[in-house]
């Protein structure tokens, strides 16, 4: 079935460690996004990519990095520079970066820093 796969679903990290969250889609979508969700809050945009080998910072990019080497993949690295990384991370994709198309979301990755 077509969709977006995020892994791992749960991740624990010690302070000072980098961690990479995987996001893979087989929907042939051009655009991909990473959002962060904190309890009681909406989703905030971390990074987005409209085409391969190109990506842009969102509203809260500090302490995060991404790559887009393949159309299907958009991994997110949470670096040790991210001061409060414990959160729920959602990856999404859409057919194109404009128009009426909705975002399709993965099931999310919950990161806890110990």
**Could you list the residues that contact other proteins (CB under 8 A)?**
31, 33, 35, 40-45, 48, 50, 56, 58, 88, 90, 92, 94, 96-100, 102-108, 110
Burial of 84 (C-beta count, 10 Å sphere; 0-12/13-18/19+): exposed
Given a contact cutoff of 8 angstroms between Cβ atoms, the answer to whether 90 and 37 are in contact is yes
CB of 35 to other proteins, least distance (A): 8
Our CB check for other proteins shows the closer of 80 and 95 to be: 95
CB atoms within 10 A of CB 67: 15
CB of 85 to other proteins, least distance (A): 17
């Amino acid at each position: 079935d077509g969709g977006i796969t995020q892994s791992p679903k749960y991740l624990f990290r010690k302070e000072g460690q980098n961690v990479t969250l995987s996001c893979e889609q087989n929907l042939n979508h051009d655009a991909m996004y990473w959002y962060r969700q904190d309890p009681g809050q909406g989703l905030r945009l971390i990074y987005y990519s409209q085409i391969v080998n190109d990506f842009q910072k969102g509203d809260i990019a500090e302490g995060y990095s991404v790559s887009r080497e393949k159309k299907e993949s958009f991994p997110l690295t949470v670096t040790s520079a991210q001061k409060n990384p414990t959160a729920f991370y959602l990856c999404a994709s859409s057919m194109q970066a404009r128009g009426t198309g909705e975002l399709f979301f993965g099931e999310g990755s919950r990161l806890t820093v110990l």
